[in-house]
Structures are given as C-alpha cells and as structure tokens.
Amino acid sequence: MAFLTLTDVTKFYGATCAVQDMNLAIEQGEFVSLLGPSGCGKTTTLQMVAGFEAVTRGQITLAGRDITHAKASTRGLGIVFQSYALFPHMTVAANVGFGLEMRRVPAADRAQRVQQALALVHLKALADRYPRELSGGQRQRVALARALVIEPPVLLLDEPLSNLDAQLREEMQFELRRIQRTLGTTTLMVTHDQDEALSISDRVVVMRAGRTEQIGHPHAVYETPQSRFIAGFVGKANLLEGQLLRPEKLQLLPAGSGRLAGTVKERYFLGSQWLYALDTPAGTLMALAANDSREALAEGQACGIDWPDSALRSLPLPAADGAQAQGAH
C-alpha cells in the first residue's frame, strides 16, 4: 500500500468542480509535484490533503489511516506556504521551534531539534536574527526548517520558491531536493514552473481544468506526453501533423541540406543556448542550438533542418475542452 493515497478525490464549490476524480498513490520518501496552469486544481488538491479544504467526494489515506475528514491540526503534516508566514516578532530559532512548543516538547529537546533543523538548512549562524534581517532565500529556509523540525510524515509545499528571483530560485530548487533526500520525507509540491517540477521531482502530476492529464517520471512526461496540452505546456514543442518534435531535437544545417528548408524569422539569446523561430513549409518551428564556437544564425538567414526519427512522438487527437485526454497512440 502506498504511503499517501488519494482515491477519486473530488472537490466542488457550489456547481463548480475544482478537482475531479483525483487518483494518486505516493510512496514513502517520494517527491511528487502537482504541475499545471493557474486554476487547474493543484492548490485545491494540496489543501484537501492538508485538511484546509473539505473533500466533497473520495478518500485520502496516510500510512493506512483514513484522514479524509480529519482536522488539519491532527494530521501532523509539515507545510510551507508561498508567503512563508514567519512571525516577524520572533527570532529565527523561535520561529523554527514554534511547532515544537505547541506540541509541548521539553525545552532541552526542543533546543536540540531546532539547532539540528537550522544546521540542515545552513542557518545556525542566523538563529538570533529576525525575519526582517534575512534575505528571501534565508526566509524560505527558515520556513522549510520550521516545517521539517516537527518530523512530519508528509511535507506539503505550496509554490515555495515563487517569491525568489530567478538565480536564487534555481539554487533553492536543488537545495530543497538535497534536504528532502537527506531526510527522506515524503513530499508533495504545487508549482506552475515546469523547470522546477522536472528538475527535482521523482514524479510529476500534470493537471488541467481539475483533472489529471498524466502522471509519470519527469523524463517520461517530457519525452512522451499523453496529450497535446501536455506537449505544449511542458516545455516547447513543434507539432507536425499530429507528431511532436522538441526544439532541442532539431538539427540546424547549412542551407540546401536536411529534410526541410528554413529561414530564421527571430532569434533569442538564452545564455548557453540560442532559441530560433524558423519559417518553413511546415509552418513556424522552434529550434534550440548550443551557444558554442559556431557563429549564431542571423535573422533572415537560410538554413537546412533535420532530425532523428527517434525524436518524433505521436500524439492523440485533441480532447474536447475540459475533457479527459486519452492515451497516446
């Protein structure tokens, strides 16, 4: 039996269905991300697991115990919110130890566990500071330490890195994964950031309009999407008569060679790569090329385009809006 299980979990707000028939089994120690656009139901799903939202229909079990209608305070879950929700009048150490104090953990034990949690997030030296004296990344680590210090069976993360700048966000993604692996804490994270979900998750749950579109390893979701929505939402894609071709699979060659002729319509510098929009007889295609010793293609320059046969993926016909997508064929 899986450690955390959602069976046919459904949530209605009046006549509006926010989540429909969510089925998910998470193993102990697994890191799973709920990925999807705004309004797809991922945060509502997390809140039902946390106990902040009532389940309309279905069942949630944790370690074999039915917690579907249990109060949030009795579930013992660790939660990190988007806003971090730190107490401004408390020091870092006091913020981290708050949950232990509410659980009436003896002072000596509490102090030891707080120090261990701060060491885990590399903040022992800042124990006596206040939140206003910390950077965004440091406040995020305090919130994470506070959630982990109670030794929760499950850690719930609600867009925990969305308030950080791009560089710090990328650094914290891998720091978060390091901490999770160190402790082996079962983790469920909500995010709309595809790179974040793909880079640190064991599995990704792609949601759309309250339904689950696909559940799988990040590589499988990216390389073999089960619907056109996923192909377009998870990374960039070129669709050729029902087939998917990722931009990085395209090979840009000298003009007159390759299977397809193209002209550079626009180009975008991404640091380590160039992203090209190419006019072709098949329509506009996107291609990624390494920023290496070769000279970048100029706008208006002709080129040849090719790709390995193994890079093509067949996709199903588009499902009706709001309908469940069928399996790939």
Q: Are 4-223 and 238-314 the same fold in CATH? A: no
Q: CATH classification of 238-314 is 3.30.300.30, yes or no?
A: no
Among 275, 279, 281, 280, CA closest to 297: 275
Q: What fold characterizes domain 4-223?
A: Rossmann fold (3.40.50)
Structure tokens of 215?
């559940």
Q: pLDDT in tens for each of the 329 residues of the chain?
A: 799 999 999 999 999 999 999 999 999 999 999 999 999 999 999 999 999 999 999 999 999 999 999 999 999 999 998 888 899 999 999 999 999 999 999 999 999 999 999 999 999 999 999 999 999 889 989 999 999 999 999 999 999 888 788 888 888 888 889 999 999 999 999 999 898 999 899 999 999 999 999 999 999 998 888 888 998 898 877 776 666 788 889 999 999 999 999 999 999 888 889 999 999 988 899 999 998 878 899 999 999 999 988 877 776 645 444 444 333 32
pLDDT at 205: 97
What distance in Å separates the CA atoms of residue 117 and residue 45, rounded to the nearest whole number?
28
The SS3 call for residue 158 is strand
pTM of the model: 0.78
Among 103, 184, 172, 117, CA closest to 147: 117
Among 72, 119, 120, 126, CA closest to 94: 126
Listed by start position, the domains of the chain span 4-223, 238-314
Residue 326, judged by CB atoms within 10 A of its CB (0-12, 13-18, 19+), counts as: exposed
